[in-house]
Structure 1
Amino acid sequence: MTFTRRDIIKLAGTAAALQLFPAFVHAQGLEKKKVSIAVGGKNLFYYLPLTIAEQRGYFKDEGLDVEISDFAGGSRALQAVVGGSADVCSGAFEHTISLQNKGQAFRAFALQGRAPQIVMAVSTKTFANYKTPADLKGKKIGVTAPGSSTNMMVNFFLAKHGLKASDVSIIGVGAAAGAVAAMRSGQIDAISNLDPVITTLERAGDIRIISDTRSLKDTETIFGGPMPAACLYAAQAFLDKNPNTAQALANAIVRANKWLQTAGPSEIVKNVPESFLLGDRALYIDSFQKGKEAISPDGVVPEAGAATALRALAAYDTAIDAKKIDLSRIYTNEFVKKANQKYPNG
């Protein structure tokens, strides 16, 4: 085999490029070191990986300066990202479908939860006579915020049982002590919320659960397949412009997901703000155990998950045209695949 001078130069150039590529990528660094994340109900277990990534310094390890803004519900956090006051949203996976349906390109790139963890329950005080879903007609149902994933869960539950969203009154009650107070004071007849709010009310005998998505089994029974939940999502334009920054964010979330798979209850309590415990550490630990399996072990969106989410939305939202939704554009697992390679053991 003979080589011309031109062949040798080409080969030499290719070899040099291959050697320099990793260094080149490293030199590129983060396109955006200061990142703002909007979340609706940071204290909820739904978003626990986000808190762990923050509290354990995983974002800082990636060279990021992350500012997290907490809103009353996922719909408010969504508005912040769409409006441009936040770069990334830590919110419900199904919002990416609703956004695409409105002509807006947003994509999930790191999964935090593989089950919604949303629980619907009725008041034992004002709604003790509840027997079937039909009894919800005319009742006041508390959600974290109108338009949030907890509201979507109500709409899905109603549609599944032959009711319309207009058959009930939706009231935003937040995701913490305010939600507990709203139920106990009789302001609402039913609630769609998450832990630790639900376990707080359940333990005190304030509610009776009628739908529960904290376990994978119950989630699949209710939705007919895997239902991706909390995730980091951002505008496609942000991901295109800041791929290294998005990778750093995914790295931190994957590390948090993996840490949560083996962390003991006492470790969990030490790594969350005191205010998250709602004054009862034992209750917080109990709440965590109930929904632990809902936390994604690796940040990967299951292949069938997007289709499940689309079916759930289309079941009650007539504005959703399922045929026009391109599921391949609402999420990507490319960032978390690389994150798992970098942190195979967390």
Structure 2
Amino acid sequence: MFIKRYSVLVLALILLIAGALSGCGGSKETTKVRIGEVTRSVFYAPQYVALEKGFFKDEGLDVELQTTAGGDKTMTALLSGAIDVALVGAETSIYVYQQGAEDPVMNFAQLTQRDGTFLVSREEISGDFEWEGLKNSVFLGQRKGGMPQMAGEFTLKKHGIDPHADLELIQNIEFANIAAAFASGTGQYVQLFEPQASIFEREGKGHVVASFGTESGRLPYTVFMTKGSYINKNKENVQKFTNAIHKAQRWVQEHTPEETARTIAPYFKDTDEDILISSVKRYLEQGSYAESPVLEEEAWNNLLDIMESAGELKERVEPAKVVDNSFAKAAVKANP
């Protein structure tokens, strides 16, 4: 009787320990990281893929995404500590550096490598599009000093158009309201991201006639960045974050636009699947999505040229001042 009771107690103890060990294995500890994206766009498809496919979770990160419309608002959120990581144009880190910030903002993973906007005409253009046709038109532009506006001006100048002398340039409309302003009748031309450009084409509100991404060349257009102090305290998490982004970049390149569109659909609930597919396809065809999170020096110099042309650069900034490629290079080495 004693032996039987002893055996039962031993068995119960073994089951209890096994259950405890199983519970420990199942409750993987995660670290929260708050991202602020400058806008919601198919342009950022790899980010949504990383979230939907669980690539961040696989790295032990609990990522919280919020949209902080506009580069100035996104940077304010980062500097104030409202977010940990910003997804915004690399030019914003240069603006902070130019202001002499003691805690510089560092770019650590590139997401897009071309301008993501398209030139949309209100009227359908018969025959081949000629940039010369923009002269004396009303152009609904983007915020002064923002990457879309600077890349747009750079392209116009390349085609012999002075945006401030040859156009009636409108720049006083909030970033989030530009599409609505054009839809309501403001401007003959406008710069739009996807999927809005494709939506306007379907609705007959506009026609895509050119790509600013193709025209302005490769540059670190949208980058994940954070404060230098955050990197110093969270190097392991920044590496994990970058690993997940690179995995998502690879996934987008290796899958069809249809598969990517289905994956990111939860972030565009009011957008039809065929619009998402055409938007992803358009960005893939012009090489908008960066295949690697590494910021290349040649692309960085092109960014500086564009900022200099727009009169927004006090002095050329060496990449090392605001770029930390160590995490991106490590991610690529681990998953070539």
Match of 1:37 among 35, 38, 41: 35
Secondary structure of 1:168's aligned partner = strand
Aligned alpha-carbon RMSD (Å):
2.9
Per-residue deviation, 1:208: 4.2
Closer/same/farther in 2, CA of residues 153 and 303 from structure 1, 3 Å limit: closer
Give the greater-gyration-radius structure (CA).
2
CA contact (8 A) 2:46 2:252 kept: yes
5+ long unaligned stretches in structure 1: 1-31
Contact (CA 8 Å) 1:93, 1:228: kept in 2 or not? yes
1:236 aligns with 2:235: no
Could you tell me how far apart the structure 2 residues matched to 1:327 and 1:204 are? 43
Q: Which residue matches 2:15? A: none
Q: Name the CA shift for 1:183/1:140 in 2 (closer, same or farther; >3 Å).
A: same
Secondary structure (helix, strand or coil) at the match of 1:294 reads coil
Give the match for residue 92 of structure 2. 95
SS class of match (2:163): coil
1:28-78 deviations in whole A, cap 9, x for unaligned? xxxx92211111212x12221111111111111111121111122333212
Structure 2: stretches of 5+ with no match in the other structure: 1-29, 125-130
Amino acid in the other structure paired with 1:41 = T
Instruction: Name the CA distance, whole Å, in 1 between partners of 2:38 and 2:175.
Output: 9
1:168 — aligned with what? 169
How far the C-alpha of 1:228 sits from its partner, in A, is 1.8
Q: CA-to-partner distance for each residue in 1:240-265, whole Å, 9 max, x for gaps?
A: 22211111111111011000001123
- Percent identity, please: 23
Does the 8 Å CA contact 1:120/1:211 hold for their aligned counterparts? Answer: yes
The alignment status of 1:120 with 2:112, answered yes or no, reads no
- Counterpart contact for 2:45–2:260, Cα < 8 Å: no
Q: How does 1:324-335 map to 2 (within 5 A)?
A: 325-335=317-327
SS of corresponding position for 1:191: strand
CA contact (8 A) 2:155 2:212 kept: no
The answer for the alignment partner of 1:264 in structure 2 is 256
Indicate yes or no: 2:319 matched with 1:321.
no
Using structure 2 for the length normalisation, give the TM-score: 0.78
In structure 2, the residue matched to 1:25 is none
For 1:151, the equivalent position in structure 2 comes to: 149
Q: 1:315 to 1:174 in 2, by over 3 A?
A: closer
Structural mapping, 1:1-346, within 5 Å: 33-42=31-40, 44-104=41-101, 105-124=104-123, 132-136=133-137, 139=138, 141=140, 143=142, 148-157=146-155, 161-164=161-164, 168-172=169-173, 174=175, 179-209=178-208, 211-214=210-213, 218-219=214-215, 222-223=216-217, 226-274=218-266, 276=268, 278-292=270-284, 293-317=287-311, 319-323=312-316, 325-344=317-336
Aligned residue pairs: how many? 296
Q: How far does residue 210 in structure 1 lie from its aligned partner after superposition?
A: 5.5
Letter in 2 for 1:60: K
- SS of the aligned residue for 2:46 comes to helix
Are the structure 2 counterparts of residues 58 and 207 from structure 1 closer, same or farther at C-alpha, using a change threshold of 3 Å? same
Residues 60 and 275 from structure 1, CA distance in 2 versus in 1: closer, same or farther, beyond 3 angstroms?
Answer: closer
- The alignment partner of 1:121 has SS state of strand
Task: From the superposition, tell whether residues 76 and 189 of structure 1 become closer, same or farther in structure 2 (CA, over 3 Å).
Answer: farther
Q: Contact conserved, 2:91 with 2:146, CA < 8 A, in 1? A: no
Counterparts of 1:229 and 1:74 in 2: how far apart (Å)? 12
How far is the alpha carbon of 1:142 from its aligned partner? 5.0
1:277 shift after superposition? 5.7
TM-score (norm 1): 0.76
Structure-2 change in CA distance of 1:33 and 1:151 (3 Å): same
In structure 1, how many angstroms separate the alpha carbons of the residues matched to 2:254 and 2:92?
Answer: 30
* Contact 2:179–2:192 (CA under 8 A) maintained in structure 1: no
Are 1:159 and 1:316, in contact at CA under 8 Å, matched by a contact in 2? Answer: no
Q: 1:167 to 1:239 in 2, by over 3 A?
A: farther
Amino acid at match of 1:164: H
Cα distance between partner residues in 2 of 1:115 and 1:240: 29
Q: Is the 8 A contact 1:180 1:197 kept in 2?
A: yes
Q: 1:184-233: CA deviations, max 9, x gaps?
A: 2213443222111112223444334454134xxx24xx35xx21211101
Which string of whole-angstrom CA distances, capped at 9 and with x for unpartnered residues, describes residues 108-163 of structure 1? 111111112222333229xxxx9534324xx36154x6654323334444555323
Go from structure 1 to structure 2 and tell me whether the alpha carbon gap of 1:211 and 1:107 turns closer, same or farther (over 3 Å shift): farther
